[in-house]
Amino acid sequence: MVLIATNVCDYKELAKQKLPRMVYDYYALGAEDQHTVRENMEAFSRIQFRPRVLIDVSHIDMSTSVLGYNISMPIMVAPTALHKMAHPEGELASARAAASVGTITTLSSWSSYSIEEVNSAGPGTRFFQLSVYKDRNLVRQVIGRAEKASYKAIVLTVDVPWLGRREADVKNRFALPPNVVLKNFEGVDFGNIEKVVNGSGFAASYDACQVDPSLSWKDIKWLQTITSLPILMKRILTAEDTRLAIESGVAGIIVSNHGGRQLDHAPATISCLEEVVREAKGRVPVFLDGGIRRGTDVFKALALGASGVFVNRPAVLFALAVDGEAGVRNTLQMLKNELEVAMALSGCTSLKEITRGHVTTEGDRIRRSML
């Protein structure tokens, strides 16, 4: 029986049949026992709707703006590495798909096509994900290239001072396929990157050898001296770090746990969202990354205070593996369509009408039961 993809998760099953196990596991699995990978999704199921009725929902407007850039929906593409392992056109196809549905894509430093090649793929608003490397001249160079190629923001990943234990990569003896290179660092001599470090596998060992484990809050100020691009800080989970991030002058915060690929048993991102939003107090936008599988998940994140969400592996990499650019475009459109239905059935005609009162969390229900 041929499975027809009718939702994002269908693409995961189709990709599992198509991709080599080494590649599928690299994309799909996380750190150690996969607890956080599972919890990222399961936590959404514990949030319920409080829909309103008898509201004219004949017209639904899902458009919004992020850092001043207008997009068709509050769903953007998160940075993920090595798209070319999924499809020969890799990040080129993903970027075109995002642009075709009117949203933002974020290019990973670990992309299999270069900053310049993706910029040449066609029109579109793009952000660039940055890890801070020990070689600060290299950091200056990649930021300069992103600026020159008209990327609009830096998404700074701050949760990889050490690499999480991604045991599937070790078991599979993960290695880059012959046709895939880390294009943004082509020609850069990083020494012996084939040594397995910390039980994290080939790809992780490369990053572990180069990412600066001494990165601290003072370095955020340094980054601001070498770029005029706004900085979104990715992987904030607590009020304490939210406060420090805002004091450091970031333009926005992305609540993320690296898709469960770093610290296993970190909480689900949706479980941390309200804490971060409360501390941000509207001073900077807060976005959510992790666990989004349905348009209803997007609605729940918006109701809990997110300004938008970023999606990655199931909506992008698996769809890319199954049907290239068309697959990614289809999954993004699926999520948009599902969000539209959720808004209509909840009585919301625009994003600003989605409020905290439209959802109830497990904590809400416990507090009510104690009254």
Helix (H, G, I), strand (E, B) or coil at 255: strand
Q: How far is CA 280 from the centre of its chain?
A: 20
258 catalytic, yes or no? yes
Q: Residue 151: CB partners within 8 Å, gap ≥ 6?
A: 107, 115, 119, 126, 127, 128, 229
Alpha carbons 126 and 77: distance in angstroms, whole number: 9
The DSSP symbol for 318 reads I
What sections of 149-216 are H helices per DSSP? 167-171, 201-210
Q: Residue 184: which of 161, 206, 200, 153 has the closest Cα? A: 206
Alpha carbons 39 and 50: distance in angstroms, whole number: 23
Q: Residue 366: CB partners within 8 Å, gap ≥ 6?
A: none
Catalytic residue among 59, 83, 87, 258: 258
Helix axes 35-45, 269-280, angle to 10 degrees: 70
Report which residue type is found at 100: S
Q: 133 - beta bridge partners?
A: 211
Helix (H, G, I), strand (E, B) or coil at 115: helix
User: How many CB atoms neighbour CB 177 within 10 A?
Assistant: 13
Q: Is the dihedral of CA 320, 326, 331, 332 positive or negative?
A: positive
Q: 232 - beta bridge partners?
A: 155, 252
Alpha carbons 22 and 174: distance in angstroms, whole number: 6
Q: How far apart are the first and last CA of the chain?
A: 52
Q: Residue 295: which of 330, 256, 329, 343 has the closest Cα? A: 343
Residues involved in catalysis? 258
